[in-house]
Structure 1
Amino acid sequence: MAPHFDAPPASGEKALKDRFAHIDTWVFDLDNTLYPQTADLWPKIDARITLFMMRLFGLDAISLRALQKHYYLRYGTTLRGLMMEHDIDAEVYLKFVHDIDRSSLAHNHSLAEAIAALPGRKLILTNGSRHHAIETAKQLGIDHLFEDIFDIIAADFIAKPEEAAYERFFAHLKVDPERAALFEDLPRNLIVPHARGMTTVLVAPAVGEEVEREAWEIATGEEPHLDFVTNDLVGFLEALAR
């Protein structure tokens, strides 16, 4: 079972830091990782995806939800499914679904300080758009901390968890996976990174948080590709920097 660190005790911090001593590149997923999984951003995006499909197919939301989730599971993103099977304009789609109000997110000063204290490069790896990542990071007050953002367009619309998405990321940003750590909220998105030598950290919902998830999105903590599991990202990063 992967070590679970909510907020590591002082006695465990040295062992934790030793596991990350070789890391010089810190990679973060965006949605539901850098902001709480109970935030309303992803439900807003999800609703916009459904609305886009309603306009595309002329069907009601209930009829389209199953198709939306089918594409998401099979292709990594609903976008990829729509591109492969219906030849939609990806940039029109991304602009539409990320046209949301982010004002519910507050600046997270503790997260900003914890990320700033990490030694080395900081990057965002997202299945969303660069614009969405920038605007969301700005709202959190952490946009200035990241060297670069590798988005779905840079990946040529090949989404995590596909191996090709990570290989493009490694090559484009010159990342040595064996010296990099990846923080993600979806366990399946950590399978390839772990196989390539990245140190993997699953960011789980905080204690008491009720988060709507598909069964395949929920980790048991026993998956061999999870090096660590935490439900307190800030506390985890602070322990690494102390």
Structure 2
Amino acid sequence: MNVHSPTPADFAHVREWVFDLDNTLYPHHSNLFSQIDVAMTGYVSELLQLPREEARKLQKDYYRQYGTTLAGLIARHDVDPDDFLEKVHDIDYSWIDPDPALGEAIRALPGRKFIFTNGDRKHAERAARQLGILDHFDEIFDIVAADLVPKPAGSTYDKFRAIHRVDCARAAMFEDLARNLVVPKSLGMKTVLIVPHNFEATFSEIWEREDVEDQVDHVTDDLAGFLRSILPGL
């Protein structure tokens, strides 16, 4: 496993570029997801008439058990997914700083580019537009397209591949959650884990927590810099 120094040769075969959204395309330090997290707690609290502390605990329990809070709420309480997605993404996207360097790097990638997110399309479009990168993507595959089944479910990757005819042998996936790279790696994709800028924890802590060391080809805390390093002449 090469965690630091990719070369253009490592990615010369790639023509399908697949990016997670939250804490991947926009950086962890923007703290945007904290707004969504607060909104989800509020939604659970109002729905079930629970104090916020109890609602937050239940929210996290559902996340761990079902993969997303939404999946848990659908399974346990038959919530309207459209209502949930609209309310929890009613946030201030100005927290994201535009990233021209990232936009330039994504534009220069050869082949097709996808956003593959457990959020919804509107959220992805707003975040990518704020970053200044939306126009560089060919398509967005969101939780609705996945029939509300979140990553890391294998069926969700299968649906993504089928709809967009993705050649996994010529694909790379970028994710901030190592467990979401297990299936892509098994399908033959090159895998890149995105960690927070100036990440202090040791890589061993990632592997111990998620037991996925063999599923990650590269690790970076600078997505734009990583992409520039694999693009000859950029």
TM superposition score category, shorter chain reference: over 0.9
1:198 corresponds to: 189
Q: State the match for 2:3 in structure 1.
A: 4
- 1:145 equivalenced with 2:149 (yes/no): no
1:144 aligned partner, one-letter code:
D
Aligned-partner residue type, residue 3 of structure 1: N
* Cα offsets for 1:38-74 (capped at 9, x unmatched): 1121000000000000110111111122211111122
**Which of 224, 231, 234 is 1:241 aligned to?**
231
Q: Structure 1 residue 22: deviation in Å?
A: 1.1
User: Does the aligned pair in 1 maintain the 2:16–2:113 contact within 8 Å?
Assistant: yes
For the structure 1 residues 132 and 217, does the alpha-carbon distance in structure 2 shift closer, same or farther, using more than 3 Å as the test? Answer: farther
For 1:148-201, what per-residue CA distance to the aligned partner results, in whole angstroms no more than 9, with x for missing partners? 000000000010010011000000111111211000000000111111111110
Alignment pair present for 1:184 and 2:183 = no
Cα drift, residue 100 of structure 1: 0.4
On the 8 A contact 1:221/1:229 being kept in 2, the answer is no
Which residue of 120, 125, 134 corresponds with 1:129?
A: 120
Q: Provide closer, same or farther for how the CA distance between residues 127 and 81 of structure 1 changes in structure 2, counting only shifts above 3 A.
A: same
Distance 1:116 1:60 in 2: 46
Q: TM-score, normalised by structure 2?
A: 0.93
Alignment correspondent of 2:40 = 49
Q: CA RMSD in A?
A: 1.9
Structure 2 distance, partners of 1:218, 1:23, is 29
Structure 2: distance between partners of 1:170 and 1:123:
11
How big is the shift at 1:216?
7.7
Say yes or no: does 1:155 pair with 2:146.
yes
Please give the alpha-carbon distance, in whole angstroms, between the structure 1 residues aligned to 2:200 and 2:42: 27
Match of 1:230 among 213, 220, 223: 220
The structure-2 alpha-carbon separation of the partners of 1:85 and 1:222, relative to structure 1 and needing over 3 Å to count, comes to closer
Is contact 2:73–2:79 with CA below 8 Å preserved after alignment?
yes
Structure 2 residue matching 1:124: 3-state secondary structure:
strand
How many angstroms apart in 1 are the aligned matches of 2:188 and 2:178? 16
Q: Could you tell which deviates more after superposition, 200-209 or 177-186?
A: 200-209
- Segments of 5+ residues of structure 2 without an aligned counterpart are none
Deviates further, 69-78 or 155-164: 69-78
Give the paired residue count: 229
**Structure 1, gaps ≥5 residues long:** none
| SS state at 2:94 partner | coil
Contact 2:179 2:212 in 1 (8 A): no
Aligned pairs for 1:29-48 within 5 A: 29-48=20-39
Q: Partners in 2 of 1:135 and 1:209 — Cα distance? A: 30
For the 8 Å contact 2:117–2:142, the answer to whether it is kept is yes
Give the match for residue 64 of structure 1: 55
Identity over the aligned pairs, expressed in percent?
Answer: 47
Distance 2:190 2:153 in 1: 18
Q: TM-score w.r.t. structure 1 length?
A: 0.90
CA–CA distance in 2 between the matches of 1:173 and 1:188? 22
**Compared with structure 1, are the counterparts of its residues 226 and 208 closer, same or farther at alpha carbon in structure 2 (3 Å cutoff)?**
closer
Query: Is 2:39–2:87's contact at 8 Å kept on the other side of the alignment?
Result: yes
For residues 218 and 207 of structure 1, what CA distance do their matches in structure 2 show? 20
Q: In the alignment, residue 179 of structure 2 is paired with which amino acid?
A: R
1:119 and 1:108 map into 2 onto residues whose CA distance is 20
Structure 2: which amino acid aligns with 1:131?
Answer: K
| Offset of residue 3 of structure 1 | 1.5
